[in-house]
């Protein structure tokens, strides 16, 4: 996934969620998704719980630096 692709998915907006990186203006952060994955949730479980996210969003999260 290119940096441009990631930039189209993940944004940092000052004043929103403390400036943490979030998905396309949503109120879920990259860190939230990483915590779900670290706790053992699968991609499918995350996508079921958050239907507005896509698998590409999760890949972008894993590639974000």
**For position 24, what pLDDT does the model report?**
81
Placement of tokens 């979030």 in the chain:
22
For 3-63, CATH number? 1.10.10.10
**For position 37, what pLDDT does the model report?**
96
Nearest-angstrom CA–CA distance, 60 and 30: 9
pLDDT(63) > 70: yes
Q: Higher confidence at residue 1 or residue 10?
A: 10
Under 8 Å between Cβ of 63 and 6: yes
Q: What is the pLDDT of residues 7-56, one digit of tens each?
A: 899 998 888 888 899 988 788 999 999 999 999 999 999 999 999 999 99
Under 8 Å between Cβ of 5 and 60: yes
Three-state SS annotation for 8-47: HHEECCCCCHHHCCEECCCCCEHHHHHHHHHCCCCHHHHH
**For position 65, what pLDDT does the model report?**
65
């Amino acid at each position: 996934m290119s940096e441009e692709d990631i930039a189209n998915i993940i944004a940092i907006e000052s004043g929103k969620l403390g400036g943490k990186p979030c998905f396309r203006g949503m109120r879920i952060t990259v860190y939230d998704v990483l915590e779900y994955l670290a706790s053992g949730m699968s991609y499918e479980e995350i996508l079921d719980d958050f239907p507005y996210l896509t698998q590409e969003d999760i890949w972008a999260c894993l590639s974000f630096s």
